Amino acid sequence: MDLQHQRTLVTGGHGFLGRHLLEQLRVRGCRNILAPKSTECDLLDADAVNDLLERERPQVVFHLAARVGGIGANQRRPGTFAYQNLVMGTHLIEACRRAGVNKFIHAGTICSYPKLTPVPFKETDFWNGYPEETNAPYGLAKKMLTVLLQAYRQEFGFRGVTLLLTNLYGPGDNFDPETSHVIPALIRRCLEAKERGEPSISVWGTGKATREFLYVEDAARALILGAERLDDPQPVNVGTGKEIAIYELARLIAEKTEYRGELRFDAAKPDGQPRRCLDITRAGAILGFSPTVTLQEGLERTINWYRRAS
C-alpha cells in the first residue's frame, strides 16, 4: 500500500506516539492526514465516531488513542482503563467497517501477553494465558480489539492488523509523576533529586523485573511499515529483542542524569510482570523492521529533551 496517496486518519495523533507518527507520515510525503483531537471527536461516543467516518471517509486508519499509564495508574483505575480502551476501539472498528476503510492498523501492547510467557515472547504464545494482574484490564481490553479485528476479517473481509508494541520512550513522553511509565518517571526523579541535593530516591519494586524498551521514532516507523506491508490478522511483535533489569535501568538513568545519590528499591511496591522481552523475528521477515536507536542513545536524547522542555 502506497500511503502517500491515501486519505489517512490517526487517532491519538496529538499524543506521545501519535505526534511522531504524524511527523514521519509527512516526511514520507503524506499530505492528506486527519488527526482530530479528543475535543473534536470523542471516541467514547459512537455517534461522534460514525459522523467522523461518514464525513471524512478515510482510506487508512491508525488507532493509537488509548488510556495508558504505569503500574500505579493501572492499579488506581483498572475499570476506567478497561472500559475506555475497549469502547474506543470497538466504536472505531465498527465505524471503519461501515465506512469501507481499506486498512486498519491497531497499536497493540505487550501488556496483553500472559504473565508467565516464556522469554522471548513469541506471537504463538499470545493466547496462552491471563496477563499480569496489575495491568490485566488494560491488556485484555487491547487484546479484545485484536480478536474483534480477526472476527471482522473472517465475517466481513475487513483488513485490520495488530502490531504489539513493547514499552515506548523518547522525546515528548509523559513525565507526569501520577501516570508516567518507568523511564520518564526515573528521569524526572533523578533530575529533581539532583537539583534539590536529595541523598536518595525511591524506585518501585525489587528492581529484578526486566523490561524491553523501544525508542518512539522506531515504533512510528514500524506502524508505517505495518500499514504498507502487513496483511496478516495475527499480531506481530515490535521491539528491540533486548531486555534490561529495572535496577540496571535505574542506574543507567542515574549515570546519564549525573545523579550521585542512592537508589532505594521499594519491595513493598509491585514489580509487575517478571520479565518482558519480545521475539521480533516476524517483524524483520514480514515488515523488514529492525530498531535503529540503542537504549543508551535514546535515553540521552530523552533526557536532553526533558531538560530543554522543563
pLDDT tens string 246-269 = 999 999 999 999 999 999 999 999
- Nearest CA to 106 among 278, 227, 13? 227
* Rounded distance between C-alpha atoms, residue 156 and residue 97, angstroms: 8
| Residue 83 known to be catalytic | no
pLDDT at 72 over 90: no
* Rounded distance between C-alpha atoms, residue 30 and residue 24, angstroms: 9
Superfamily classification of domain 3-171+211-242+274-292: NAD(P)-binding Rossmann-like Domain (3.40.50.720)
Structure confidence by residue, pLDDT tens digits, 199-252: 999 999 999 999 999 999 999 999 999 999 999 999 999 999 999 999 999 999
Q: Exactly one of 83, 130, 138, 247 is catalytic; which is it? A: 138
Residue-wise over 178-195: b if at least 16 C-beta within 10 A, else e?
A: ebbbbbbbbbbbbbebbe
Helix axes 216-229, 16-27, angle to 10 degrees: 60
C-alpha cell at 303: 533526557
Band of pLDDT at residue 108, cut at 50, 70 and 90: very high
Q: Are 241 and 277 in contact (CB under 8 A)?
A: yes
Spatial neighbors of 309 by CB under 8 A, at least 6 apart, are: none
Residue extents of the structural domains in the chain: 3-171+211-242+274-292
| pTM, full prediction | 0.95
* Rounded distance between C-alpha atoms, residue 167 and residue 186, angstroms: 14
